[in-house]
Amino acid sequence: MASQAPMGNSQMSYKVAGTLIGSYKIQSGDTFSGIASREGFDLNAVLAANPDIEANDLEVGQVINLPIKTLALVFNLSDVARILGTSVQDLHSDNPGMSSEISINKVIKGPSPLSRGEQVMAQQLAASLPGGSGGGNGGGGYANYSGPASSFPHTSQWASYSALWNSNSKLMKYHDSDAEIADIKTAIETVARESQVDVRVVLCTIMQESGGNVRVRTTVSPDGTVRNPGIMQSHNGAEFNPLHAAQSILQMVRDGIEGTKSGDGLKQCFHHQGNWYAALREYNSGRVNVNDLNDGMGATGSYVRDVANRLMGHVWNNM
């Protein structure tokens, strides 16, 4: 979505925020070409949005990406002009030397404010982000939470998403480019909305699993049967593809939250356990001792406690 800041009575600045990718579940008889034709997409755009899926081996129930164009998806100056209700010529006049291709985080000058109805719609979209409103400022040191989920901080005590993003995005800069960080943010918010998983849980799990490093090493189970790739170290999911960065980052987050063909994601773990802390234990260990969430049962014992501290906005060395 484009964010706005006043510039006077007749002009505003607009920041291009990123890419929105929708999803579609494969039905019997579906092919990429058939889906593209039916939904009105360019076939090459659909293929590019699914770099890790074999076009000739689609399975019923499989989820693929669809490149949906909305207010949140702005790639070129003609798209911007259409959305803002102005002409390409006027945008060129307001932004001398601007290319016809608009990159993420680009700030441009455009016509005066959105209508009241459009402002309300934008506010509603922001409010629909699970965990996107409320919360504290974070801060403080590492706390040694232990025991059952009831002994860990209530969700009402967690830091706000904005505070968590501001602090964690700085850590991502050790590994990722600004464009990749913008793609991670877009993916986190997209998947949070489609899965209804608290956006803070998505972000903090990513930081626990990989520090947000899109090039994180893929781990393999001792018996060699399960790969844990990507920024959420998912169950036989997608890896980062630099040729399709935004799409592969989205798929990595989607695999971790919504699961893959061969393993559950955090969303399914929450449905099993009924609270986020036990869900995190299941995501990490596969099993849960509900009376002691620091019992890793062969996995990382401090995993749940670490994520709880991240959700609180706590800070510690080598986090």
The residue among 46 and 206 whose pLDDT is bigger is 206
Question: In which element (H, E) is residue 33 found?
Answer: helix 32-39
Domain map (residue ranges) of the chain: 3-112, 149-311
Indicate if the pLDDT at residue 3 is higher than 50: no
Say if 3-112 and 149-311 have the same CATH topology: no
Indicate if the pLDDT at residue 193 is higher than 80: yes
How far apart CA 31 and CA 46 sit, in angstroms, is 11
Beta-carbon contacts of residue 309 (< 8 Å; ≥ 6 apart):
142, 143, 145, 316, 319
The per-residue pLDDT for 112 is 56
DSSP string, 88-102: HHHHHHHSTT--SBP
pLDDT per residue as tens digits for the range 68-79? 543 333 445 665
The residue among 11 and 212 whose pLDDT is bigger is 212
Averaged pLDDT for residues 73-95: 68
Helix, coil or strand: residue 5: strand
The per-residue pLDDT for 38 is 79
pLDDT per residue as tens digits for the range 222-257? 778 889 999 999 999 999 999 989 889 999 999 999
Mean pLDDT estimate for the chain: 81
Its CATH architecture, for the domain 3-112, is: Roll (3.10)
Amino acid at 251: Q
pLDDT per residue as tens digits for the range 145-159? 999 999 999 999 999
CATH 1.10.530 fits 149-311, yes or no: yes
Averaged pLDDT for residues 45-69: 75
Question: In which element (H, E) is residue 12 found?
Answer: strand 11-15
Long-range contacts at 302-309 (CB < 8 A, ≥ 24 apart): 303/208, 304/145, 304/152, 304/277, 304/280, 305/143, 305/144, 305/145, 305/146, 305/152, 306/208, 307/204, 307/205, 307/208, 307/280, 308/143, 308/145, 308/152, 308/153, 308/277, 309/142, 309/143, 309/145
How far apart CA 29 and CA 38 sit, in angstroms, is 13
Indicate if the pLDDT at residue 283 is higher than 90: yes
